[in-house]
Structure 1
Amino acid sequence: MAVTTRVTGVRTALQWAALAAGAVFLLAGILGFVPGVTENTGSLGFAGPGTGALLLGIFQVSVLHNLVHGLYGAAGVFMARTHRHARNFLIYGGVIYLVLWVYGLLIGDNTPANFIPQNSADNWLHLVLGLAMIALAILLSPRTAPGGREN
């Protein structure tokens, strides 16, 4: 008889939050390659501050930036399968975004250290995302999985 680790049943609010966040990051990663949604896709470089591509005309992106968003989003969708993994995705993902915010404040927009790349709009978005993800994890964590067990 095969044993499965797949969790079935109702998702918790925390799992829905992680799923939504993952889906948004995955979508952002895809849209970063779409002309019209991303301006100047002809200048989309692999990495570094030289890329002139702007997602929604605001956020500086590169191939690396888009791939990271896509992989991060896929991880969020996958981790939303269990309450514990969803919480970890939101907490640790939020911490990573806060680190990226600080990093973005410390480096200049046009320096080689800006390899991701990120501009001022990206920096402030990273702050909001980091705080929101951690807040969701804290606010929704007390709600355990259906049946009173923690997955």
Structure 2
Amino acid sequence: MAGPMAHSRARRNPAEGRAPVRRAAASVGVLFLLVGVLGFLPGITSDYGDLRLAGHQSGARLFGVFQVSVLHNLLHLAFGVAGLAFARTVAGARAYLVGGGAGYLVLWLYGLAVDHRTGANVIPVNPADGWLHLGLGLGMVTLGLLTGRVAGRR
């Protein structure tokens, strides 16, 4: 029978006491690491045999929807590692979320402007990626601004 003492001996939650912006940045980083790994898994990535190093010819689709390439997956992995590194400080976490979110908004604009059937679509992106990039950009900027507030200031 576990009483109140059992709980006090439990391991401390590593996120306990960490600023919300740091937790948010670390969570986003882990999400990008997961997506980067999933992009290399056949079955989760459809048409895996059509995965290319880069460019619009890559026919692989993460979850059967989002066009990916080896470069695209490696960028997700690098962005995930960056999120974990920047989450070590409040200022870094906020910069990662706001700056990274702004970067995803630029990527969304790139997806609108680029001809998806040409070599200029090097990452590659498709319309589904565009909507995802818009959502990620807005979500990350919002997380950075809302969770990055200094205590006592509005």
| TM-score above 0.5 | yes
Structure 2: tracts of 5 or more residues without a match: 1-15
State the Cα RMSD in Å: 1.5
Residue correspondence of structure 1 range 88-103 to structure 2 within 5 A: 88-103=95-110
Say whether 1:133 aligns with 2:118.
no
Higher relative contact order (CA closer than 8 Å, sequence separation 6+): 1
Structure 1: tracts of 5 or more residues without a match: 1-8
User: Which residue type is aligned with residue 122 of structure 1?
Assistant: D
Shift of 1:78: 1.4
| TM-score computed with the length of structure 2 as normaliser | 0.86
User: Which residue type is aligned with residue 72 of structure 1?
Assistant: F
Give the structure with higher Rg (CA): 2
What is the aligned-residue identity percentage?
51
Give the one of 64, 73, 82 matched to 1:66. 73
Give the one of 107, 112, 121 matched to 2:119. 112
Shift of 1:142: 1.3
Say whether 1:42 aligns with 2:49.
yes
| TM-score computed with the length of structure 1 as normaliser | 0.88
Shift of 1:10: 2.4
Deviation readout 1:111-147 (Å, 9 max, x if unpaired): 1110000000001100000011001111111145xxx
- CA contact 1:39–1:56 (8 Å) conserved in 2: yes
Residue correspondence of structure 1 range 71-86 to structure 2 within 5 A: 71-86=78-93
- CA contact 1:35–1:41 (8 Å) conserved in 2: yes
Q: Find runs of 4+ consecutive structure 1 residues off by over 4 angstroms.
A: none
Please give the secondary structure, in 1, of the residue aligned with 2:144. helix
Alpha-carbon distance in structure 2 between the residues aligned to 1:133 and 1:25: 12
User: Which residue type is aligned with residue 33 of structure 1?
Assistant: F
Alpha-carbon distance in structure 1 between the residues aligned to 2:150 and 2:36: 30
Shift of 1:102: 0.3
